[in-house]
A and B are shown apart, each in its own frame.
Chain A
Amino acid sequence: MELLCPAGNLPALKTAIDNGADAVYIGMKDDTNARHFAGLNFNDGKLVKGADYVHEHGKKLHVAINTFAHPDGEERWRKAVDNAVAIGTDALIIADLGVLDYAATKYPDVERHVSVQASTTNLEAIKFFKNNFDVERVVLPRVLSVQQVRQLAKTSPVKLEVFAFGSLCIMSEGRCYLSSYMTGESPNTAGACSPAKYVRWQETDKGLESRLNNVLIDRYQSDENAGYPTLCKGRFEVDNNVYHALEEPTSLNTLELIPELVKMGIASVKIEGRQRSPAYVEQVAKTWRMALDRFAENPDAYDVEQAWMNTLSNLSEGSQTTLGAYHRKWQ
């Protein structure tokens, strides 16, 4: 099972490879990918350097082109595909049907993966992508239970990749417009959820307030940890009850599912976080490498070490982790 790590820049890419990633995924410095953040991602020169570093180490490079093309700039998405192929990417991660069509027609020999942003959650949808674009792999959204993933893995005509660790998106990815409803920008159209430029922090006599485009997302007392105001992780009021109405600040962590996932034949476990620092990538890659190696050495004796959990919890939102939708009780 491949360990696929995120890289938002060249140092993170090198760190991921040096710490045990089998493959890294990156995006370009524009709105063609779903982590279009200031100061992040790869320009043309860095792309070449990144690809070289990965390939010199015998590892794989995936390029994410996973937003939806704008009608007045479709060539930007096609150019992103051209660039990725030119630097010798091993796989293209694509969400937009038009972009997939372009890649499949122009570069039939370059592996195509269906991005999580394409919301592919069942066998018939997988068949759609296989039949139309001969894709090699589908990245599953974080909405399926372990049982559902297992069922799909048994019947899927293509390989499956699942999210293993990182910030937890609780909606079917690619089908969440909450961010554009509040700010005008969504992952689909602008490549970012709850964009930083709309975030405002304010100390008030009621507590520290976080706002997104002026909407109050949360308010913290002095003994509470304040987190980034991702709009689905704030505290809201439903019939006079104030709580995390959608989700708490928490991260996905599936170390304990490794034996299951291997048994099902999952091709790759994906670590979320292209927006994270090289230091973050280092610790997550290292921990996951250890766990995967430990399992490979002696599957029957595999047990999640508390030290791994501690390391990952410390890197998590709200310092807590969850199995998310994999665990039915979460749903």
Chain B
Amino acid sequence: MKFSLGPSLFFWPKNDVEAYYQQALNSKADIIYLGETVCSKRRELRAKDWINLAKELNSNSDKQIVLSTMALLESPAEIQTMRRLCGNGELLIEANDLSAVQMMYELNLPFVAGPAINCYNIATLKVLLRQGMSRWVMPVEVSGDWLKTLLQQAEEENIRDQFECEVFSWGYMPLAYSARCFTARSEDRPKDDCKYCCIKYPEGRKMNSREGERVFILNGIQTMSGYQYNLVNEVPEMVNMGVDIARISADNEKAFTMLDRFGNQLVTPEKYPLDGVEECNGYWHKIAGMSVA
């Protein structure tokens, strides 16, 4: 099993992004995803900056570098930006919307179907394979049993060797996308006058119930899980069912510690008790995502 560092979903200053990915080069990640997946107004790094950074990382390491693209695209300008990313000429692309799938198909290039693409069954996998998908990241709400059945079906239909399977395994999960910016709303501003306020919240804004229970994290137009997903104890099971890659989301520097910890599970598996007020693993176990099984 390999390990990937997912794209950072937050809005960080350019220097911080560059420093983070320098650190990432020395991490245990086999694959590094990077790029803006949430909001096109976040322009600390523009498309060309992301491409340059990714190419630089690519030339300085033997890790696989992948450019991730946006999930919710609404304007021709956003499509234009994505076209530049897709046509970078060197790096693999993670498609998080069918628009990117369409572009990669037209370019006749392979792509990763990211977690924001709704692929829940074998018939959909086949459609995406026809488009050129080489790796599938399952939607975060899919359970272990669901995945197991699906991968078995792929074996039976002799298509399992045509794609890699990746599972979002640690970090705040992206759960929803809206036209509305909830971070701007939290500062009582409309999106058109957001003042790029996401940059003040490098780990998003916590949204709690009125009883103080952490419910969600507000991250611009994206709503994330309030707790960090943690499948560290499920690594051996994932290996058994043939998951190729476990994704650690680039929430903060803890991601690097988690890459070490997940990697160690392949050598000396250990049980880590989950912290019920910070972590969850419910989705994998077919219960409420925010729960701990």
Contacts and interface: CB of A to CB of B under 8 A. Distances in A.
A129 B126 CA distance: 15
Contacts of B250: none
A245 B182 CA distance: 7
Contacts of A123: 76, 79, 99
A183 to B, nearest CB: 5
A208 to B, nearest CB: 13
Contacts of B150: 71
B23 interface: no
Interface string A222-246: 0000000000000111110110011
Interface string B82-118: 0000000000000001111111010000000000101
Interface string A182-195: 11101011000000
B181 A331 contact: yes
Contacts of A331: 179-181, 190-192
Nearest to A147: B75
B78 A122 contact: yes
Nearest to B282: A184
Given A98-B121, A101-B123, A143-B74, A172 B210 contact: no
Interface residues of A, number: 70
Given A98-B121, A215-B209, A125 B127 contact: no
Given A102-B123, A123-B76, A176-B176, A71 B149 contact: yes
Interface stretch (B14-22, B55-63, B285-293): B285-293
A61 interface: no
Given A71-B149, A176-B175, A121 B74 contact: yes
Nearest to B283: A180
A49 interface: no
A132 B127 contact: yes
Contact of B177 (A97, A172, A329): A172
Contacts of B289: 177, 180-182, 184
Nearest to B125: A98
A325 B205 CA distance: 22
Contacts of A245: 182, 185-186, 207, 218
A170 interface: yes
Nearest to A72: B149
A240 B208 CA distance: 9
Given A183-B288, A239-B205, A124 B79 contact: yes
Contact of A171 (B79, B223, B283): B223
B73 interface: yes
Contacts of A95: 118
Given A176-B177, A245-B182, 18 more contacts: A71-B121, A74-B121, A96-B120, A98-B121, A98-B123, A121-B73, A122-B79, A132-B127, A143-B178, A171-B223, A177-B176, A188-B118, A219-B210, A235-B210, A237-B208, A246-B223, A325-B179, A328-B190
15 contacts: A71-B122, A74-B122, A74-B123, A124-B98, A125-B98, A125-B99, A175-B116, A175-B177, A178-B176, A182-B289, A182-B290, A238-B208, A239-B205, A242-B210, A246-B182
The 10 residue pairs across chains A and B that have the minimum distance between CB atoms: A98-B123, A124-B99, A325-B179, A181-B289, A143-B179, A68-B120, A176-B176, A128-B102, A98-B124, A171-B176
Interface of A: 68-72, 74, 95-102, 118-125, 127-129, 131-132, 142-145, 148, 151, 170-172, 174-178, 180-184, 186, 188-189, 213, 215-217, 219, 235-239, 241-242, 245-247, 324-325, 328-331
